[in-house]
Structure 1
């Protein structure tokens, strides 16, 4: 698997099933640790996953920004990226933030798999 550079890398390219399951497990684990439960996460296609995360971010932006910041902290995304994504006019903040979350989770799984093979 390569680095996740854009949303198209997740949605349009074929993904190894083992890697994708590890990716979903990592996302689910971090969401649950933040007190967020997305039902049937393991059944989502990459596109559905992005859409569901984006809906979650929209909800957190309007109802619980503290939980969103806690999620960023737990996933290990610097708060400056959150601030940058909220100030951009290119795409919606929820789309940018959801991609940052997916990208960081992707990196975590890549690193874990890389070092578990050595």
Structure 2
């Protein structure tokens, strides 16, 4: 049964524990490239570094390329209701929350593909 992780650290730990961390990086790279916003994460990227790079990329998209940001969320299939529930008053905090939603959706894809 799929249980959604409660935060980024728990998600990355679960991905490592299930030996799917590299698949998660591959999925992120694939979907960012589909959105023409390559993030180019090497498979050697440490979990903490992954979190930072993802948050920075999303921060820049929100700040400077909002249409591309929305396209990315659409391609990754992040639920619109979850995005609407976030507080957008602090872009730094918003980018961290969106990064978690992106990771959660990508992890779900990787987990299900591995499981079924």
Aligned residues: 114
Q: Go from structure 1 to structure 2 and tell me whether the alpha carbon gap of 1:104 and 1:14 turns closer, same or farther (over 3 Å shift).
A: closer
1:83 CA drift (Å): 2.3
Q: Give per-residue Cα distances to partners, 1:81-115, cap 9 Å, x unaligned.
A: 222224477x8101100000001100110110110
Superposition misfits of 4+ residues, deviation over 4 angstroms: 11-14
- Match in the other structure for 1:65: 66
SS of residue in 1 equivalent to 2:51: helix
Q: Give per-residue Cα distances to partners, 1:27-82, cap 9 Å, x unaligned.
A: 11000000112234322111111100100111011111111111111111122322
**Which runs of no fewer than 5 residues in structure 1 stay unpaired?**
none
* Partners of 1:4 and 1:106 within 8 A in 2: no
| In structure 2, distance between residues paired with 1:49 and 1:24 | 8
TM value normalised by structure 1? 0.82
